[in-house]
Structures are given as structure tokens and as C-alpha cells.
Chains A and B, each alone.
Chain A
Amino acid sequence: MVDPTDRDLVLRTRRGEVEAFGEVVARYQQSVFNVCFRMLGERMEAEDLAQETFIRAYTRLETFDVERPFGPWIRRVATNVCLNHIQMQKPESYEFDEERDRSPTAAREEPEASLQGVQATEEVHRAIVALPGNYRAVIELRHYQEMSYSEIAEALELPLSDVKSHLYRARKKLAELLSTNE
């Protein structure tokens, strides 16, 4: 028996078959969780936000165009849910804090190996999480969801010029943060 398509599941959910939405969650929970984890850097928080993403998606399922793929839509919703969450949190300094952000086994003992292997990717992740929320969102949408500038502008409801400047500043900041930790 052929698995139902995402489109079928969404249409069934819209008609009141809540079980069909469970199948949608099962299909996309891993990728949605990864969006949240990349943006937040905390597993538990990422799981909570991933769950919230699906609940919000359920309430706004009418806005989804069934002729388009579901995956990019739900990941975009996840990005916005995380961005809202970050912006609602108490503002904090996003200066890269070595003491706070380095794990006990961090690359300090092996400076020559920074930006290589697991420790390097952890450092990159910490650097991304140290960015302001709107910078994290553009990095996520551009580098992981492979959106064009205009698609990012639409997803975040920002002018195109803001998308360009956010990306430029986010990458500049990341380069600074990563070079500081080399």
C-alpha cells in the first residue's frame, strides 16, 4: 500500500481527521527539531519549540498552499517560532562568552584543530547561537533551508535590503567570533 502524500494528509487534517496530522508530525519532527536546535542550541528548548511549531502549524493549516511542498513550509514556520521565542526572551548580551560557551573539553587545548571535526562544528554552532535572533534566522534560512534573498524577505516579512544587511552582518560577526576562538 502506497503511503499517503503530504498533500493528502494535510487535506484529511483540514477535513477533521486529526490522526492524519499525527502522521505529518511523525514525518517532519526530525527536520523541524533540527531547525530549532540550530537556532537555539538547547535540546530541551528545541524540542519544546518543535512541538509548538506543529501546534501553530495545525492552527494555521488553511494558510498552507497544498500545491507546494510541505517540508519547506513547516521549516519556515519553525524558524519564525524560534525567532519569536528568542525575541520574547529577556534581552541579553550576545557577545561571545568564552567561559560560558566553551565546553570543558573545548578546543583550547588543541588550538591547531579548531574549525576541524566535532569541536569545530560545536564552536560554529555556539557562535551562531550567540548571534541576535534575526541574524540567526537569516543564517538558518539561507544556509540550511537554501532560500533566496527574496524568499527570506517574504518568510520573515522584511525588506530585501534588511535581509542583505542582516546576512552581511551575521557572517561578519560569525567570522569575528570564530577567529577569536581559533
Chain B
Amino acid sequence: MSEHPNNETFQGYLDEELTQLERQQVEAHLRICSTCEAELAQLRSLFHSIESIPSENLASDLVPGVMAAVKPRASWLPSMAVGELLVAAAFTLVLVLWLGGGELQARLGGAVERLIAQFEVAAAGLWTSVGEFLSQVPDSPQLDFVQFGELMGSFLNSNSLLWAAGAIAFALLLLGNGLVLRTGKDSNV
């Protein structure tokens, strides 16, 4: 660097914000230019002066004033224990399904399917009423309500218990893990 570096470059040099190449160029110039060397020394002295302000002692304790001003936080997050409990529940449910899912489906599946069938009868009545009402409204779109209802019902029937339990386990895992992460707990603790 043959030209004199400007003051901003010297500030960057002292702040250690120059690239390695820029730094080398400044240092090479300083070796041959006493004017710049003096300017840098002056700047360094200013930096030292700026940083020379001593610490002051606080005259009074701020704790009482701050504590009077802050209100107890409503614990808007469920405690971490709840999160961990949900994760544990999810794993337990998965384990139960893995070991005894077939047996459960055999024992309880029938009862669940009967419950779903009753629900379907009630829902079908309501569904038909809505369809009839809409068909009387002028210019309403012509929708095939019966076909749509049958489609929805078919989802509920096949292996309904296992699917529902799996979905609940997955939801518990997501929710519990989310709570644990959100409250800041990690494996290092």
C-alpha cells in the first residue's frame, strides 16, 4: 500500500475489522511511514482514553424497585413435567399397540365399530336434512351428499381403533416434545 491509509481504515485496523490482506497492507505501510505511525498512535491513545472510564458503584439496590414493578408471570406454558409426561404417554401407547394391538382390536374393535355405526346413523340423518334443505335453495350447487357421506364413513371403519390410537400417540409425542423444547429443557441438563 503506497497511499496513506485513511483514518477510517486505521479505526478498522484497531477494531480488528480488516481482512488479513488489508491488515498486511496497513502494517507494510506503517513500517515505511512515520506520519501514519504517529496518526495510529494518536488513535490508539484515544481508544485507551475512551476505555478509561472507571466503573461506578451503584448507590442503592435495584432489586426491590424492580420486583415491585414486575408482576408474577402467569405460567402460560404448561410445566416441563407435563411435556415429559405426554412424551412418556405417547411411547407407552405405541408400546401397548405394538405388543397387544391385534388383541385389542379383536376385543375392543367390535365395540368401537358399533359406536361408530351409531354415530353414522345419527350423522346420516343430519346430513340428509342438510342436503334436502340445500336442494330447495334456488341456484344452489348440486352436490352428491350421499356419496360424500359414504366416503367419509369408509374411513372410519377399517382398523379404526389402531389408526385412532396411532394418531393419538403421534399427537402426544409432538405436543410433549414441543413443550419440553419450548421450556428450554435439553439432554445436557
By a beta-carbon cutoff of 8 Å, the part of chain A in contact with chain B is 7, 11, 13-16, 18, 21-22, 25-26, 29-30, 33-34, 37-38, 43, 47, 50-51, 54-55, 58-59, 66, 115, 120-121, 124-125, 128, 139, 142-144, 148-149, 164, 167-168, 171-172, 174-175, 178
A33, B62: Cβ atoms closer than 8 Å: yes
Distance from B14 Cβ to chain A, minimum over Cβ atoms (Å): 10
Tell yes or no: B17 within 8 A of A by CB.
yes
Among the stretches B66-74, B95-103, B135-143, the one at the interface with A is B66-74
Query: Which residues of the partner chain A approach B7 to less than 8 Å between Cβ atoms?
Result: 168, 172
Distance from B9 Cβ to chain A, minimum over Cβ atoms (Å): 10
By size class, the interface of chain B is 35 or more
Partner of A14, one of B47, B55, B71, B184: B184
Q: Knowing that A29-B58, A47-B62, A167-B11 are A-B contacts, what are 17 other residue pairs whose CB atoms are under 8 Å apart, sorted by A's residue number?
A: A7-B184, A15-B73, A15-B183, A16-B72, A18-B73, A22-B66, A26-B61, A37-B56, A38-B53, A47-B58, A47-B59, A55-B70, A58-B70, A121-B53, A124-B53, A171-B43, A175-B46
Distance from B18 Cβ to chain A, minimum over Cβ atoms (Å): 11
Query: Which residues of the partner chain B approach A13 to less than 8 Å between Cβ atoms?
Result: 73
Closest 10 CB pairs of A and B: A16-B75, A29-B62, A18-B72, A33-B58, A54-B66, A58-B70, A66-B184, A16-B73, A121-B52, A25-B63
CA distance A166 to B100 in the complex (A): 70
CA distance A124 to B54 in the complex (A): 11
A174, B46: Cβ atoms closer than 8 Å: yes
Q: Across the A-B interface, how many residue pairs have beta carbons closer than 8 Å?
A: 114
Query: Which residues of the partner chain B approach A148 to less than 8 Å between Cβ atoms?
Result: 15, 17
Given that A125-B53, A143-B47 are known contacts, is A47 also in contact with B75, CB under 8 Å in the complex?
A: no
- Tell me whether chain A's interface is mostly helix, strand or loop, or mixed: helix
A55, B184: Cβ atoms closer than 8 Å: no
Query: Which residues of the partner chain B approach A38 to less than 8 Å between Cβ atoms?
Result: 53
CA distance A12 to B2 in the complex (A): 59
A15, B75: Cβ atoms closer than 8 Å: yes
Tell yes or no: B34 within 8 A of A by CB.
no
Nearest opposing residue in chain B for A165, CB measure: B8
Q: Which of B49-91 contact A (CB under 8 A)?
A: 49-63, 65-67, 69-75, 77, 79-80
Given that A33-B62, A139-B50, A174-B50 are known contacts, is A149 also in contact with B17, CB under 8 Å in the complex?
A: yes
B74, A16: Cβ atoms closer than 8 Å: yes
Query: Which residues of the partner chain A approach B8 to less than 8 Å between Cβ atoms?
Result: 164, 168
B50, A143: Cβ atoms closer than 8 Å: yes
A25, B62: Cβ atoms closer than 8 Å: yes
Distance from B101 Cβ to chain A, minimum over Cβ atoms (Å): 37
Query: Which residues of the partner chain B approach A175 to less than 8 Å between Cβ atoms?
Result: 42, 46
Query: Which residues of the partner chain A approach B184 to less than 8 Å between Cβ atoms?
Result: 7, 11, 14, 66
CA distance A59 to B8 in the complex (A): 39
Partner of B46, one of A11, A18, A178: A178
B183, A25: Cβ atoms closer than 8 Å: no
Distance from A69 Cβ to chain B, minimum over Cβ atoms (Å): 15
Query: Which residues of the partner chain B approach A144 to less than 8 Å between Cβ atoms?
Result: 51
